[in-house]
Amino acid sequence: MATEGSRFFSSLHDQTIVESKKRSTILFIVPIEFIFKGVVKLRNKDAIYTLKNITFAKIYVVSDFQKKWFYLILLALVWGSSFILMKRALLGLTAVQVGGLRIIIAALTLFILGFRSMVGISARDWKWIFAGGMLSSFFPPFLFALAQTELDSGITAIFNSTVPLMTTMVGVAMFGAFLNKRQLLGVFIGLFGTLVLIISGMELVPDQNYWYAGFILMSALGYAFNINIIKSKLPHLSALTLTTASFAVAFLPALALVLHSGVFNEIGHSAPMQDAMWYVLALAIFGTALANMYFNKLIHVSSPVFAASVTYLIPLVAILWAAWDGERINIYQLLGGLIILFGVWLVNKKKGSN
């Protein structure tokens, strides 16, 4: 074992492992040319990693910078697809049923993955988890489903892009964040874009009730509070712990609402409800449970505003799905969306950056 281990590290010597406090995650990529199995301790300046019964090959260490961009793109694809999933689910289920089942299935998925991780949470942390959980895990699934009973999925996604603006305003008002003149201008431009989007939508599709856009803005405000709470009050908790605990808070009230809706009595003899359940399953497991876990990881390795910037990309994915599904979006609605994103860019833009 010692001889093989020595050969292993000798072969690694030419593939120098960068030792940096900013690099923490180890990925294993196995080429055909080199295979080795055993137990090895990998030591660097920051930690000792004990690697057991793993097939070793090239070892790459991934930085927080790389991780945050990976999480951002992954979340944009998953969350950008969630709006069309909600639209399809609402063909067979009510808004309360879609929102409630989404929470229940997501919570059960997270309990399997991370129930034990909640054991060490302090009473003080639970106070903030309860607030963040209700604002981001309980109310938004219902509010989004309710909004999409009146609004197209692509438009709903564009309204959701106000999250970074809300995050900045909440950070300034409640968490002591600083807002300079450029960021203040960005907030007002983003809000103006929201107004353009509402007015143009009323003219294009007058039969849709654009007052329901208020539900999306309320959800965005809830997400904004949660992002600031996690970054300022709960940075010491892992992403899995935070996500599991957040949905544990939302689980019982969601279950009560779903039971009251009578979905379990009706679904056995309703083909549309059964078809809708497949969309809810995908929405709950991928678009809610796993996506929220990775979003909390993103918050940990970046800033609150960078994390909220996933909404830059979500509308692009959602609009592609909307166009594929035959939804109408006019040039003025796209202009409103671009104005919102320009405002978000101003809020996020670092001084002196290009």
pLDDT in tens, 233-275: 898 888 889 989 999 999 999 999 999 998 888 888 889 999 9
pLDDT attached to residue 128: 94
- Going by C-alpha positions, the residue among 228, 226, 220 that lies closest to residue 171 is 228
Q: What is the pLDDT of residues 288-346, one digit of tens each?
A: 888 888 887 887 777 766 776 777 778 778 888 888 888 777 777 778 778 877 877 77
Residues near 201 by Cβ (< 8 Å), separated by ≥ 6? 151, 155, 208, 210, 333
Q: What is the pLDDT of residues 4-38, one digit of tens each?
A: 444 444 444 333 333 333 334 444 433 333 334 44
3-state secondary structure the chain: CHHHHHHHHHHHHCCCCCCCCCEEEEEEECCCCCCEEEEEEEECCCCEEEEEEEEECEEEEEEHHHHHHHHHHHHHHHHHHHHHHHHHHCCCCCHHHHHHHHHHHHHHHHHHHHHHHHCCCCHHHHHHHHHHHHHHHHHHHHHHHHHCCCCCHHHHHHHHCCHHHHHHHHHHHHCCCCCCHHHHHHHHHHHHHHHHHHHHHHHHCCCCCHHHHHHHHHHHHHHHHHHHHHHHHCCCCCHHHHHHHHHHHHHHHHHHHHHHHCHHHHHHHCHHHHHHHHHHHHHHHHHHHHHHHHHHHHHHHCCHHHHHHHHHCHHHHHHHHHHHCCCCCCHHHHHHHHHHHHHHHHHHCCCCCC
Tokens of 276: 């809708």
Residues near 171 by Cβ (< 8 Å), separated by ≥ 6? 177, 224, 228, 304, 305
Q: Are 163 and 223 in contact (CB under 8 A)?
A: yes
- Going by C-alpha positions, the residue among 242, 210, 217 that lies closest to residue 163 is 217
Phi-psi region of 326 (alpha: psi -120 to 50; beta: other; left: phi over 0): left
Tokens of 135: 């604002």
pTM for the predicted model, two decimal places: 0.70
Does position 65 have pLDDT exceeding 50, yes or no? yes
Per the DSSP assignment, residues forming a β-bridge with 52 are 39
Tokens of 35: 């295979």
Q: What is the pLDDT of residues 115-142, one digit of tens each?
A: 888 988 999 999 999 999 999 999 999 9
What Rg, from alpha-carbon coordinates, does the chain have?
23
Amino acid at the residue 209: N
Does position 88 have pLDDT exceeding 90, yes or no? yes
Give the residue extent of every domain in the chain: 2-56, 68-348
- Going by C-alpha positions, the residue among 338, 55, 27 that lies closest to residue 192 is 338
Q: How far is CA 12 from CA 8, 279, 309, in A?
A: 6, 46, 38
Q: Are 225 and 131 in contact (CB under 8 A)?
A: yes
Q: How confident is the model at residue 201 (pLDDT cuts 50, 70, 90)?
A: low
Overall average pLDDT of the 156-170 stretch = 78
pLDDT attached to residue 179: 67
Residues near 242 by Cβ (< 8 Å), separated by ≥ 6? 129, 230, 234, 296
Tokens of 288: 């809610």
Per the DSSP assignment, residues forming a β-bridge with 62 are 25
Q: Are 235 and 300 in contact (CB under 8 A)?
A: yes
